[in-house]
Amino acid sequence: MKDAHPSVCILLLNWNGWQDTIECLESVFRTTYSNYCVVVCDNGSTDDSMRRLKQWAEGTLCAWTSPAHPLHSHSFPPIAKPLSYREYSRSEAESGGAHSDADAQLVFIQTGANLGFAGGNNVGLRYALARNEIEYVWLLNNDTVVAPDALSHLVEKVTADSTIGMCGSTLLFYHRPDVVQALGGATYNPWIGTAKHIGEQTVFSPPCAAVPHLDYVVGASMLVSKPFLRRVGLMNEAYFLYFEEIDWASRAKGIFKLGYAPESVVYHKQGATTGSRSKTQVNLQSMYYDLRSRLRFTRTFMPQYLASVYICIVGFWLKSLLRGDVERAEIIFKILRGK
């Protein structure tokens, strides 16, 4: 009989976002689930994130949210401190750390560089794979705040059906917590290479109705099983940013099912994880990785749609030229040339 409370590693990836990470951690440590560990991978931050996160764990730095915010109680008042923690380098973590980790409430891992979404999370996933006691990993964006029972509902869903390898949550917008970002996952249009989040921009009305087929689980909240990780493998680091989830789901097709736990509620700030630079810089960088990853995914899994995806990107390029947006047009042309 399967354990009703299997061990779960809650994995957060931080990159220049310690304020969001602290607020997320405050909510995570309020979970009603009893058997878990928390791992934070720092992806080569340059904003003194690790020192700040340690200060929070030691009780000398607090998260702050406006008392008027409807999610204030999810991260305030602060949980009891200090929290016991361990810190590892990438190589130490990937070999499983120390046997005494069971006594630590929190594990910090320095990845050593900005390895991207897949690369940074994979360091934490290798740590989890090396720890025999861990049965599931909850990959959670650091710019989220979670309901106390969010993890319990995810575990309940996957333990009821062992064919589910990856399971998503109900994602609501942090700044509009009554509005849906995604009901578990998304559907994908291969002709243009874009996805549509299921239920996006609708008013949240629990309990959620049955959702249509998921092409992938939205990466802000993904619970994955150890058998899934061993058979399907880790995330594809070639993408660096975007399309990691659908690549993962595509590789799992025919081996594992995708699941959705409607009562697992996670509030997502969306976009906060891309960094602290100007909005224009972030938008251009996001566009570059999105379009590059779109072509990479299409070539790998749906080459029959490659021509139509290229035509769409050429359309973006021409539109940028007509608008006089030279910088954007140059980036798109670089992608079209395979760079």
pLDDT score recorded for residue 313: 95
As a whole number of angstroms, the distance between CA 44 and CA 73 comes to: 31
Question: In the chain, where are the structural domains located?
Answer: 8-270, 279-336
User: Model-level pTM?
Assistant: 0.94
Q: What is the pLDDT of residue 91?
A: 96
If one counts every other C-beta atom within 10 angstroms of the C-beta of residue 51, the result is 12
DSSP letters spanning 41-105: EE-S-SSSHHHHHHHHHHTSS-----TTSTTGGGT-SPPPSPPPEEEEEHHHHHTT--GGGGG-S
pLDDT of residue 339: 75
Is residue 208 within 8 A of residue 181, CB to CB? The reply is no
pLDDT in tens, the chain (339 residues): 356 799 999 999 999 999 999 999 999 999 999 999 999 999 999 999 999 999 999 999 998 888 999 999 999 999 999 999 999 999 999 999 887 777 789 999 999 999 999 999 999 999 999 999 999 999 999 999 999 999 999 999 999 999 999 999 999 999 999 999 999 999 999 999 999 999 999 999 876 666 678 999 999 999 999 999 999 999 999 999 999 999 999 999 999 999 999 999 999 997 645 443 445 666 898 999 999 999 999 999 999 999 999 999 999 999 999 999 999 999 999 999 887
For 131-156, b where at least 16 C-beta lie within 10 A, e where not — what string? beebbbbbbbbbbbbbbbbbbbbbbb
* pLDDT for the residue numbered 2: 53
Is residue 232 within 8 Å of residue 257, measured between CB atoms?
A: no
As its CATH architecture, domain 8-270 has Alpha-Beta Complex (3.90)
For the record, the structure tokens of 248 come out as 């993962």
Report pLDDT for 277. 42
Distance CA 53, CA 55 (A): 5
